[in-house]
Amino acid sequence: MRKDEWKNDSEYVQIVGDLIKNPTVQKLANYKQHHHSTRLEHSLAVSFDSYRIAKKRDLDYRAVARAGLLHDLFFYDWRTTKFDLGSHAFVHPRVALRNAEKITTLSPVEKDIILKHMWGLTLARPKYEESVIVSLVDDYEAVREFMNPFRTKVKKQLNRIAAIK
């Protein structure tokens, strides 16, 4: 997703608008996610890209958009905070679900999306195709966000080389 591209999709904005305005969700902007993005930027990218895929596949794109936005609704630095109950991959989906239930009513599909979005790192298998989509898009966005500065640097170098020729 290009930065703020989601703002141009009125249906998407209508679906998640109440959540985006919520002060709890807005707090995600204060946390780094994958070194080069905030947790809010990451969550919006996962939500919007998953929404577009689910819509094309005629799935529950509303649940995907909302749960995708809430999938990382936790407020600690995952690189430094450790839990006795298990790894961050195991714990944070439960924390995110608990936090999401405090601000909105969730459908069974939305709950499954949030709880199972770490599928692959955890053994919790998704129950719905919508959950698989968010899990895969989450992985894709994490890699994209981490690699984006490197990609930008390579593009600049290639442009310099092309200008010399």
Q: pLDDT tens digit string along 91-120?
A: 788 899 999 999 999 999 999 999 998 887
* pTM (whole model) above 0.85: no
> What 3-state DSSP class applies to 129?
helix
Architecture of the CATH domain 5-164: Orthogonal Bundle (1.10)
Do 65 and 51 meet the contact criterion of CB atoms below 8 Å apart? yes
Question: Is residue 1 packed enough to be buried (19+ CB in 10 Å), middle (13-18) or exposed (0-12)?
Answer: middle
For CA atoms 133, 135, 138, 143, the dihedral sign is negative
Residues 60-97 as b/e (b if ≥16 CB within 10 A, e otherwise) read bbbbbbbbbbbbbbbeeebeeeeeeeeebeebbbebbb
- Dump pLDDT digits (tens) for 2-56: 778 898 999 999 999 999 999 999 999 998 776 667 999 999 999 999 999 999 9
- Dump pLDDT digits (tens) for 49-93: 999 999 999 999 999 999 999 999 988 766 666 655 666 556 788
> Who's near 10: CB < 8 A, 6+ residues apart?
none
| Single-letter code of the amino acid located at 129 | E
Q: CA geometry: angle at 29 spanning 26 and 34, to 5°?
A: 140
Secondary structure percentages of the chain, helix, strand, coil, to 5: 70, 0, 30
